[in-house]
A and B are shown apart, each in its own frame.
Chain A
């Protein structure tokens, strides 16, 4: 007799949280404190030496943040999580554990524009070299593998075009190359896709988007799948070799299948410092409780808007994997059967100028640089998020000059259609 496994919606409400043992508070309190007292000198030494579980300092860990970490780890089917200040911070902390200067990682070309910038410029200054591959051509990942490759990075649903990535095929390339597959699951959320079930070894999120869901908090998280064998060779010394920061502990040997999350905490977060505010963790936790309900509505509305736009004379094409005619529809049916997400792009007959006009004329859609809000959002990537890319790179990343990106909220879909109708006709 094994234990009954709770369902996703139950985990979204309960995982990681329990009534406070001292006060009985039912909702997770905001532990707005920098530091935590030790019981005695030996307790302090045990905590600093990683021999005991417990709280030291909020840059390294905080009880409110810990509830968020366990909640998202449970939703993703991972062994442990680590909350950080932003999705970008999650990516820095993950790669710091995996790459040394001169190493390479392979990244899918279709990514959030901010990630393309971070990988191309900021990481280059660390000596971490990104090698781009095309998620529509699995062979391009295989051909990109070299002896210096340390990881493969993809988005499960790719920004901005909402295309669906063949996670299992790319996971097979990663397994053959003996490197971990990192999946950014921000746009899908674990409600739609659980990348670990398809072979991802590490999941990262911008919590800012659908997980938090209300556009009020920046945050990021790393989830350790517990699947990768860090000690197979000496390719990942942060995990497999004695760490001088901790008197010679080998993290993988000591922490087993949650060693990667621990490495991110005690070597990454501790020393790089991008800690999440406990107040943000509290807001994000509150958002996650309604994730399943919100994602159902987001997806239902997005499909309706995509269908409406497909039939509009001012629109040349709609890129939404939930449409039967879309080139990613088969992948959406396989990986994301509950819905194809709520972020997608469409192209306007009038090109760049029509894109700029549309965002000016909309009255309910907010023109801003975010996705995954309860509110519907619009942006013209070529003049904003992807403006730093050259024209060829804009097209390759799905942000051509005539492309507009929508993030569909949870309003009444009839009102969203009416707003688009008046703006496209104006």
Chain B
């Protein structure tokens, strides 16, 4: 997989395929980005599991925190890592020790560890790096367009009718809608500097 530019259908396939998501580094503080993403994904029907050893005993939107991936009592389809690049590898190692392997390792926007990605891919997992699942869901469903964000998708097809209020479907026919090359370049330069 080319981790600099994911085809939309790769991301769409992942977000359509997974049902349970363990979020490592989830925060109970309601202005933190991880809280935003956790709430957004829970509202879209994913079975969300907050993983953060500092908050065991508390609930996040009704879901109990667990200390580690190994403490989760059910199969998890995707591990989303809300940690800096330097903290990725131990989480991937832990995920690969699960008796039932997850299907996907997803590293949050700003996080990238190519060695950890290679290790997960060698074990048959799909990997996404330096992306936010909330943004990608919003982009591919076109919901993010309501904020004037460039979804980089085009479509001449009527989108599926929204369900549960204005929740838009991911199953939207679209083609790639242009580039934001400068920002991709900036992100790459930044990751090379750090």
Contacts and interface: CB of A to CB of B under 8 A. Distances in A.
Tell me what chain B mostly uses at the interface: helix, strand, loop, or mixed. loop
Q: Which of the listed residues A24, A61, A77, A196 has the most CB atoms from chain B within 10 Å of its own CB? A: A77
Interface stretch (B18-26, B64-72, B97-105, B173-181): B173-181
Given A3-B176, A70-B148, A78-B183, 14 more contacts: A15-B154, A18-B156, A18-B157, A21-B158, A46-B43, A61-B147, A63-B146, A78-B150, A80-B147, A197-B182, A228-B186, A246-B31, A249-B31, A256-B132
Contact of A254 (B36, B159, B177): B36
Given A1-B7, A21-B160, A248-B31, A14 B150 contact: no
Interface stretch (B83-91, B113-121, B135-143): B135-143
A53 B148 CA distance: 10
Given A43-B165, A66-B148, A261-B148, A4 B109 contact: no
7 contacts: A15-B154, A39-B166, A53-B146, A70-B145, A74-B152, A226-B182, A226-B183
Contacts of A265: 147-148
Interface residues of B, number: 55
Nearest to A22: B161
Interface string A254-270: 10111001100100000
Contact residues on A (Cβ < 8 Å of other chain), bracket:
35 or more
A196 B180 CA distance: 9
Contacts of B160: 21
Nearest to B174: A18
A226 B146 contact: no
Contacts of A77: 178-182
Contacts of B183: 78-79, 225-227, 257
Nearest to B29: A248
Contacts, number: 170
A54 B146 CA distance: 6
A66 B147 contact: yes
A266 to B, nearest CB: 10
Interface centre among A14, A61, A82, A256 (most CB of B within 10 A): A256
A55 B157 CA distance: 23
Interface in A58-112: 61, 63, 65-67, 69-70, 73-74, 77-83
Contact of B155 (A18, A65, A66): A18
B162 interface: yes
B185 to A, nearest CB: 8
A85 to B, nearest CB: 15
- Lowest 7 A-B CB distances belong to which pairs? A3-B176, A226-B183, A69-B148, A39-B165, A227-B186, A73-B150, A80-B149
Nearest to A253: B33
A66 B177 contact: no
